[in-house]
Amino acid sequence: MSFLRIQNISHTYFTKKSAKTALSSISLDIEEGSFISFLGPSGCGKTTLLSIISGLLNPSSGQVLVEGRPIQEAEEPLIGYMLQQDYLFPWKTIEENILLGLRILNKSNEISRKKTFRLLKEIGLEGTENQYPKQLSGGMKQRVALVRTLAADPKLLLLDEPFSALDFQTKLRLEDLVSATLKSFGKTAILVTHDIGEAIAMSDTICLFSSNPGQIYKQISVPEQLRNLTPFEARAHPEYASLFQTVWKELENLEK
């Protein structure tokens, strides 16, 4: 059985004047340890689907099962969420920020704290513990946010365009870092993006979304050769260019 099963999810937003269907009958199975990208035009309900998977939003119909159980029934949070911006708390030090999840989950002990600090060191930010987020650059802050997310040891990572607010070089470097970190911990991840290249370079499977209402239009499997490369190397591979063309054409078709 799949690690994550999305079963027939539909969601409609209501306002006084209208009822807008953001998602319509979405079903998807995701295996443990895989990396999926949701790619599509803005307003196709990608972020809505992510909120539903995380359990923060209840869908109008359908359900999400993690390891065969509804997400809300999980005893401990299985989900880690990374947003477009770092959303580090500016009045807390880096140390307080990365230990926040553990503290809220009541899992803060000597071992988990040590693990978190080791993570901070692995990600190249040793020595920033007593600094405030303002003192760090955008890329460093997003890395701290990654540590904060991973510290709670989630089984599933939801990445909502986490690289979109960064400059190009930082973005490429962070893609490599996130990809390597997730692989080494064997985490399952879903990335929402509108960057075709990022989707190809990072994921195993790409789900193309069409909008109005949001639906999975097509699933594209990324070839084995690209999966085993780091995102930066993948971008230089000949397969990357041809896949880019394929995805580009599919997206063009979508807009017609």
Selected range binding other proteins among 131-139, 178-186, 198-206, 208-216, rule: CB under 8 A: 131-139
For residue 137, state whether it binds other proteins (rule: CB under 8 A).
no
Q: Which is nearer to other proteins, 87 or 244 (CB)?
A: 87
What's the min distance (Å) between Cβ of 211 and other proteins? Answer: 23
For residue 101, state whether it binds other proteins (rule: CB under 8 A).
yes
Query: Mask of contacts with other proteins, 148-187, x by CB under 8 A?
Result: x---x-----------------------------------
Q: In what order do the strands lie in the sheet with 188-193?
A: 79-82, 156-160, 188-193, 35-39, 205-210, 215-221
What's the min distance (Å) between Cβ of 85 and other proteins? Answer: 7
Query: Mask of contacts with other proteins, 37-76, x by CB under 8 A?
Result: -----------------x-x-------------------x
For residue 79, state whether it binds other proteins (rule: CB under 8 A).
yes
Please pick, from the candidates 3, 35, 81, 240, the single residue that binds other proteins as defined by CB under 8 A.
81
Please pick, from the candidates 40, 77, 139, 214, the single residue that binds other proteins as defined by CB under 8 A.
77
Kindly list the residues in this chain that would bind other proteins in the complex (CB under 8 A).
54, 56, 76-77, 79-81, 83, 85, 87, 89-91, 100-101, 104-105, 132, 134-135, 148, 152
